[in-house]
Amino acid sequence: MSAGVNFLIQFSGWVHSTYTKSERLYDLLGSLGHITSACVTFGTSSQLPKQQLLTGMLVAWSSRLGMFLSYRIWKAGEDSRFVKMRNSPKAMGKMWFGQAVWVLLAGLPVNLVNTAPDSSAQLSWTPTEMLGVFLFSFGFLFETIADFQKLRFRSNPDNKHKFIQHGLWSLSRHPNYFGEICLQLGIYLFALSSLSLPLKAVSGLSPLLTILLLTRVSGIPLLEKQALARWGDSQLYKQYLQNTPLLIPFFGRK
């Protein structure tokens, strides 16, 4: 049922974008898909403490990220990912369908625990559960700070042709993605003890998908390519590349 609601939300987004030639609701409806799916499974559960915490984690993460991304797009006026496809219903349909699948897979740890037997969904505060809560909290804070620092940097007209290299961005070229990966791993680890072995493997698709998308598909590769095109000839940017880890703070170089 939760999957059906999510796909209906994304389908509605595709219909809207097809007729308005606008992608402004994309991130907002992605967030709504996450929240609605989790609330549907939570509503049919026994609403045990662990289910409450997991659902709260997902709602907090998705709400913040959705509002931030939506604000950024509304302020910019458009999403560069969609410029070449907004006039193609087929191309836009692929993006909305991809988001529906992403919402489905990313929410697996939470929704599987929400539908697990009461005997399995107990909160025992095992070391793995505590590590999960820590990773989620750390990642959530890390990503929030990184997003705020970059948003404030870009809000200054004097920085229009500059790249950010202070704050968390001096520790990693993509600190927001590092935080995102940490919090997704945290949710997975917190859910782990409540799932059977096959479901542990299935729910592992959630953090794996996040890592794949951010490091191999549309995240880091795209942004690194764009940055090189803009500042590749800058000696200052070359130094930034040499001295700042790609993703994990204090670990590795270009």
Among 19-23, 109-113, 209-213, which is the least confidently predicted range? 19-23
φ and ψ at residue 232, rounded to 5 degrees: -60, -25
Compute and round to an integer the Cα radius of gyration of the chain. 19
**4-34 burial, b for 16+ CB within 10 Å, e for fewer?**
eebbebbeebbebbbeeeebbbbbbbbbbbb
Terminal Cα-to-Cα distance of the chain (whole angstroms): 45
Q: What's the rounded Cα separation, in Å, for the pair 135 and 141?
A: 10
Tokens of 222: 């795209």
The percentage of the chain sitting over the pLDDT mark of 90, rounded to a whole number, equals: 83
> Phi, psi (5° rounding) for residue 123?
-95, 115
Residue 106: band (very low, low, confident or very high) from pLDDT cuts 50, 70, 90? very high
Alpha helix (H) ranges present in the chain?
2-20, 26-43, 49-76, 89-106, 108-114, 127-155, 175-192, 197-203, 205-212, 220-231, 235-243
pTM: 0.93
- For residues 25-47, give the mean pLDDT: 95
Q: What is the arithmetic mean of pLDDT over 211-229? A: 94
Whether pLDDT at 172 is above 60? yes
For residues 105 and 32, the answer to whether their CB atoms sit within 8 Å is: no
What's the whole-number mean pLDDT along residues 108-136? 96
Task: Name the one residue in this structure whose structure tokens are 């804070």.
Answer: 141
pLDDT at 78: 67
Average pLDDT (15-35) is 91
* 134, two tokens: 């820590």
**Tokens representing residue 109 in the block:** 């740890």
Contacts 24+ apart (CB under 8 A), 232-240: 237/163, 240/163, 240/165, 240/173
Residue 109, judged by CB atoms within 10 A of its CB (0-12, 13-18, 19+), counts as buried
